[in-house]
């Protein structure tokens, strides 16, 4: 896949997110993988850009999971550098098995370094794979989480993601998908938009080299807007109790739901996604 947007001259790369033309190329697998490979050494910048809120939102999202047995299995899709793991371990304890899936080798390298630095992550297995085609078997997990990865998916990927989530979860298993969103109405939306317009140029100006690529992340968030289309895909896939949970007045949203306990006779094909 082409990555020529990432190879533009330094002067062109210093533009803000509002100058980026939303072409299909920005959602191509190769482009997104290359972007996150280059972001990996400085990915912690996103925490500063969000004023320290992203880790809080991760904890709040994980807390939406139902009670799970101590030896439960959880899949962390689009796991990045393992930023979701502290919240998962605090919620699930040390006995749970976590399978972290990401398609960017440099992000997985960051995750491996995190794993080696703390014994609490010993029961974590890394998988170099696309979130839409996991190497894990059917009904492998009691729960599935995803933190801030949805925005880089094309709209045509939402239904494959829902089918893959359905395949991976055991009957009765739950999912929580967390993403940045735009508040829907009023002063909250206006304030968030103003933050993007004021802070992003400053970040781009202060950044040098690869760190400047962080301007793409709010662009994806701006183009993503909300989880309505993702919610619709999970309804189509046959999940129940699907709902959106706004966090901090809608600046982030968690989509939660559950795979039905009884699948027989519902007229749904719960085989491996195509």
Question: Which domains, ranges and CATH numbers included, belong to the chain?
Answer: 12-258 (3.40.50.150)
196 falls in which pLDDT band (50, 70, 90)?
low
39 falls in which pLDDT band (50, 70, 90)?
confident
User: What pLDDT is attached to residue 160?
Assistant: 98
User: What pLDDT is attached to residue 183?
Assistant: 75
Q: Indicate the average pLDDT of the chain.
A: 82
Listed range (74-88, 133-147, 205-219, 251-265) with the worst mean pLDDT: 205-219
- pLDDT single digits (tens) 114-150: 999 999 999 999 999 999 999 999 999 999 999 999 9
Percent of the chain at pLDDT exceeding 90: 58
DSSP states along the chain: ---GGGGS-HHHHT--GGGS---GGGGSHHHHHHHHHHHGGGTTHHHHHTTTHHHHHHHHHHTTSPP--TT-EEEEET-TTTTTHHHHHHHH-TTSEEEEEES-HHHHHHHHHHHHH-GGGTTEEEEES-TTS-SSPTT-EEEEEEES-GGGS-GGGHHHHHHHHHHHEEEEEEEEEEEE----SHHHHHHHHHHHHHHHHHHHHH--GGGGGGGHHHHHHHHH--SHHHHHHHHHTT-EEEEEEEETTTTEEEEEEE--S--TTS----S---
User: What pLDDT is attached to residue 33?
Assistant: 93
159 falls in which pLDDT band (50, 70, 90)?
very high
């Amino acid at each position: 896949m082409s990555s020529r947007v990432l190879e533009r001259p330094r002067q062109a790369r210093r533009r803000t997110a509002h100058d980026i033309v939303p072409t299909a190329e920005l959602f191509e697998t190769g482009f997104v993988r290359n972007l996150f490979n280059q972001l990996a050494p400085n990915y912690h910048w996103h925490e500063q850009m969000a004023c320290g809120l992203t880790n809080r939102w991760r904890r709040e999202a994980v807390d939406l999971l139902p009670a799970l047995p101590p030896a439960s299995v959880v899949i962390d899709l689009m796991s990045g550098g393992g930023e979701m793991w502290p919240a998962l371990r605090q919620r699930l304890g040390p006995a749970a098995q976590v399978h972290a899936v990401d398609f960017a080798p440099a992000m997985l390298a960051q995750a491996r370094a995190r794993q080696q630095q703390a014994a609490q992550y010993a029961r974590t297995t890394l998988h170099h794979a696309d979130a839409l085609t996991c190497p894990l078997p059917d009904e492998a997990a009691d729960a599935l989480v995803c933190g801030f990865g949805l925005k880089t998916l094309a709209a045509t990927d939402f239904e494959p993601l829902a089918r893959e989530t359905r395949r991976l979860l055991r009957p009765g298993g739950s999912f929580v998908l967390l993403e940045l969103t735009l508040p829907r109405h009023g002063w909250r939306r206006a304030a968030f938009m103003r933050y993007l317009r004021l802070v992003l140029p400053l970040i781009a100006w202060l950044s040098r080299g690869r760190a400047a690529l962080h301007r793409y992340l709010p662009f994806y968030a701006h183009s993503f807007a909300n989880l309505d289309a993702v919610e619709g895909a999970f309804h189509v896939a046959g999940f129940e109790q699907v709902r959106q949970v706004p966090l901090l007045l809608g600046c982030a949203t968690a989509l939660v739901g559950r795979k039905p306990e009884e699948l027989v006779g519902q007229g749904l094909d719960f085989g491996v996604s195509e």
